[in-house]
Amino acid sequence: MRLNFLVLSLCLACLAPEAGAQASSRAAVPITAGTRVRVKTPTLVAPLIANFLEQRGDTLVFIEDGRGRGVWSFALAQIERLETTAGEAGRNKRPIGRGAVIGGGIGLVGGLLFAAAAQPSDSTKEYSRPLTAALGAGIGAGIGAIIGSRAKSERWVNVPLPRQFSLIPNRRGGFSIAIGFR
């Protein structure tokens, strides 16, 4: 009885690393070849924008977009985030805000210049500089926000990475179960 248990334990200890490796290599990433992706790993300073080439076991291979044109490969365990492009989207907060600030500044200066240079039809009155500058800033900010809303940028969608499950023999003769969640 003890001999059977020892043989079974030895067989499991020998087959467990292979079974863990095979289970992780079977997990396919749901991306087709040629898809434009953005990859974030701890080893890269900035996210890599590339085209997905293929999956080799538990390694993903990419062809870099832009100047580098290099071939990159990362293990699934290295990748923190993987995103695919979902086209261009408008109405982004950053360009709208930038347009409103620039337009507001131009409107403020324009309102001040108008109040200083223009004379109302009644010669006993004159334009209020702060009120005219505020009105110019408001109109300029509105026009700038409308222009900024026309700017489009690429929209990214997160790709779920496969969970990893492995049995690892430890030094005391037992097994450790490792489960990776993303």
In the three-class reduction of DSSP (H, G, I as helix; E, B as strand; rest coil), residue 38 is classed as strand
**Tens-place pLDDT, residues 66-83:** 776 789 999 888 888 899
Half-sphere exposure of 105 (CA within 13 A, CB side): 5
Q: Which residue has the higher pLDDT, 1 or 174?
A: 174
pTM above 0.95, yes or no: no
* φ, ψ at 94 (rounded to 5°): -65, -50
The one-letter amino acid code at 149 reads: S
Q: Say which CATH topology domain 30-88+154-180 has.
A: SH3 type barrels. (2.30.30)
What stretches of the chain show up as alpha helix (H) in DSSP? Answer: 2-26, 93-117, 129-149
**Tens-place pLDDT, residues 26-56:** 567 888 888 999 999 988 898 999 999 998 8
Residues of the chain with CATH 2.30.30: 30-88+154-180
**Tens-place pLDDT, residues 108-151:** 999 999 988 887 777 788 888 889 999 999 999 999 999 988 88
